[in-house]
A and B are shown apart, each in its own frame.
Chain A
Amino acid sequence: MEDEKRQSTVKDAHGQKNNQSQLNNNHKIALCGVLIALAMILSYLESLVPIHMAVPGVKLGLANLVTIIALQKLDLKSTVVISVGRIILSNVLFGNMAVLLYSLAGAACSILIMTALKKCRVFGLVGISVAGAVFHNLGQILVAVCVMENVRIFYYMFILLITGTVAGVAIGLLASFLLKNIRI
């Protein structure tokens, strides 16, 4: 108990120090590594609780939480590194490589729109997160249309718009809560 308390104060002091000083390169690299690990765990956790829906591609996107926080607290380059690193590592370790292209396309679209909306400065985290979720779906659908050479697949997009919005709101709220309460 005593130990735990001491540890947490040490952590707090450490966090404060980090906050005050500029993020130097080593710190950034370490933080990227930690966030990749966190994102991997989150996507793994999510895969343990599958949502059985008639439409494939419906998910909460917990890993997007890490992407959003990275985008807010770090720079674009680190965010890309974290996303790509997470996707490649999780697909190699737990998934099948067949879906790698889908994940990468989704992440690319998602990060692109989230960066653009962040630059606008009118949208809050929820808006950014919703746009990210929807564009993630859009990227995946576009890859599916190209791979399958079938435009009809686009029908799923309308359903994914709805589920993506719901997931985006949830993740956005969670992200604002986390950003208020944790220090990176």
Chain B
Amino acid sequence: MEPKQEHKLISHADILLIVGILILAVAGLFAWKKLETPGAYVDIMIDGDSVKTLRLDQDASYEVKQQVGVNTVVVQDGSVTVQDADCPDKICEKHRAISQTGETIICLPHKLVVEIKE
């Protein structure tokens, strides 16, 4: 009853699978990077609905207030960060600044998406 797969630590199929996934990942990242262009404005969305847009060429900050909590979106020198969030994981705060079209900062607990657009 012992499965055969225990005999070998890593089979050829495993290696093919791993290599395949890695190639797919690198190709995907490369294709995505190619499509990237500097953005013109940042769109702040809650649950898919746009609540505010800010131009990237002027510094600004906008406080996104919701019942679940607050995130502050800051535009500085053409790039966007999220600061002062009271979500539990603070992943949005730790995210690096974004400036290219299509880049996003996402706060899952607050259902907030900050996306750069052309």
Contacts and interface: CB of A to CB of B under 8 A. Distances in A.
A165 interface: yes
B96 A72 contact: no
Interface residue tally of chain A, by bracket? Answer: 35 or more
A180 to B, nearest CB: 7
Interface string A67-111: 000001000000000000000000000001011001000000000
Interface in A128-184: 128, 130-131, 134, 144, 147-150, 152-153, 155, 157-159, 161-162, 164-165, 169, 172-173, 176, 179-180
Nearest to A169: B18
B60 interface: no
A141 to B, nearest CB: 11
Contact of A176 (B9, B88, B103): B9
A127 interface: yes
B14 A124 contact: yes
B6 A176 contact: yes
A130 B14 contact: yes
Interface centre among B13, B14, B94, B111 (most CB of A within 10 A): B14
A130 B17 contact: yes
Interface residues of B, number: 38
A96 B13 contact: no
B65 to A, nearest CB: 18
Given A54-B96, A150-B115, A152-B102, A127 B21 contact: no
Contacts of A179: 6
29 contacts: A54-B95, A56-B91, A56-B95, A72-B3, A99-B108, A124-B9, A124-B10, A125-B6, A126-B9, A126-B11, A130-B14, A131-B17, A144-B106, A144-B108, A150-B48, A150-B115, A152-B115, A153-B113, A155-B32, A155-B104, A158-B29, A158-B32, A161-B21, A161-B24, A162-B22, A165-B21, A173-B9, A179-B6, A180-B6
Given A126-B14, A172-B14, A179-B6, 13 more contacts: A54-B95, A56-B89, A122-B13, A124-B8, A124-B14, A125-B6, A148-B47, A148-B111, A150-B104, A150-B115, A152-B104, A161-B22, A165-B21
Interface of B: 3-6, 8-11, 13-14, 17-18, 21-22, 24-26, 28-29, 32, 45, 47-48, 88-89, 91, 94-96, 102-104, 106, 108-109, 111, 113, 115
